[in-house]
Amino acid sequence: MLYREAGQFRSTYAEDQQIFPIRQDRIAMAALLVVAFVAVPLFGDQYWLSAILTPFLILALAALGLNILTGYAGQLSLGTAAFMGIGAFMAYNAMLRVPHMPILGGFIVGGLSAAAVGIVFGLPSLRIKGFYLAVATLACQFFVLWALNRVGWFSNYSSSGVISAQQIQLFGYPIVTPEAKYLLTLGVVVVMALAAKNLMRSETGRAFMAVRDMDVAASVIGIPMMKTKLLAFAISSFYCGVAGALYAYTYLGTVEPEAFTLDLSFRVLFMIIIGGVGSILGSFLGAAFITLFPIFLNLASKWLEHALGIEMSHAVVSNTEAMIFGALIILFLIVEPNGLARLWQITKEKLRLWPFPH
């Protein structure tokens, strides 16, 4: 009833090809952006902004990066965290060594450095596929962490290998408060998500998908394998690199190489598997599920204890949370193997017919 496209006519190609062809979607998206940019910083408290929403956005950006590579171009990667690490450390070095470096410039340097390393470690993808490629990117994960730990230059010869993000400013406005950090993160993520969406609708995106679906057929119809695969690695690593820089500058403030271990790579991979492989929306849904759900479970168990007046051993509660979380992941994958984004799509299709399904 509410979600009905009757009466909406498209008379030009531009209208037909826009990102949200249905008016209700456009309104919903605009409302969401207004809420995110205006209402949340105005009314959200510090805990929500700095401990929940900012990390969620950053990990969603990393998941988006991996989704471009794995979901759209079909190349499996376990090096996401390494690319994030490069982004963080190179952004730090750019800010440290180049005088008057603007923060966005630092993020771009971080992203480009990650892209360069991504291209190098993407080279094996020209010969190998699937799990074998995953192993090659695993090498990248270990090599990068090793280098960040061993080469003193990366951390400006800090004895413990820890870097501490500098004070940042955007157009002369200092980014100190959680609100400002959140808005900066949100701005970067929105712009990059829009760019990704458009990229995937362009010729490049279609080439990625052709390679994913069948690379032999793609090369037969004239898609250059080397260029396409390496471009996918470069773009994906760029996204991850910027996410890593945000992780250091707007979230933790101080990072050590150990923040970017294989563990984080797997978490980002789970995000896209649960959110939806090959979907921009899926990256956000997956990131929300993986980062927010454990915290929600943790809070919920406290409310339960309060409401029911029982006291449980904390170790039991913590372990139960981990078990519930694992069980839910399995449940979701059984119910909808294509991820949360697919669930959302089904809901939308049902809504279009509601309340008179045929």
Q: Is the dihedral of CA 122, 127, 133, 135 positive or negative?
A: negative
Q: 293, 314, 288: which is closest to 302 by C-alpha?
A: 314
Q: Which is nearer to other proteins, 17 or 164 (CB)?
A: 164
Torsion of CA 254, 257, 259, 263, to 10 degrees: 170
Q: What residue ranges bind other proteins (CB under 8 A)?
A: 45-47, 50-52, 55, 96, 149, 159-162, 164, 166-167, 176, 251-259, 261, 295, 298, 302-303, 306-307, 313-315, 318-319, 321-322
Q: Do residues 206 and 232 lie in contact, with contact meaning Cβ atoms separated by under 8 Å?
A: no
Residue 254: helix, strand or coil by DSSP?
Answer: strand
- By beta-carbon proximity to other proteins, the closer residue of 8 and 164 is 164
In the complex with other proteins, the residue whose CB is nearer, 139 or 252, is 252
Least Å from the CB of residue 253 to other proteins: 5
Closest separation in Å from C-beta 172 to other proteins: 16
**CB of 179 vs other proteins, minimal distance in Å:** 13
Burial per residue of 291-304, b for 16 or more beta-carbon CB atoms within 10 angstroms, e otherwise: bebeeebeeebeee
List the beta bridge partners of residue 326. Answer: none
Residue 299 CB, nearest distance to other proteins (Å)?
8
Give the nearer residue to other proteins in terms of CB position, either 177 or 198.
177
Q: Of 119 and 139, which CB lies nearer to other proteins in the complex structure? A: 139
Least distance (Å) from other proteins to the CB of residue 148? 11
Work out how close the CB of 54 gets to other proteins at its nearest, in angstroms, rounded to a whole number.
10
Rounded to whole angstroms, how far apart are CA atoms 248 and 164? Answer: 8
> What are φ and ψ of residue 29, in 5° steps?
-65, -45
Minimum CB separation of residue 76 from other proteins in Å reads 24
Contact in structure between 116 and 238 (CB atoms under 8 Å): no
Helix pair angle (80-97, 54-66), 10° resolution: 120
C-beta closer to other proteins: residue 149 or 345:
149
Q: Which is nearer to other proteins, 23 or 302 (CB)?
A: 302
Residues ≥6 apart with Cβ < 8 Å to 273? 286, 333, 339
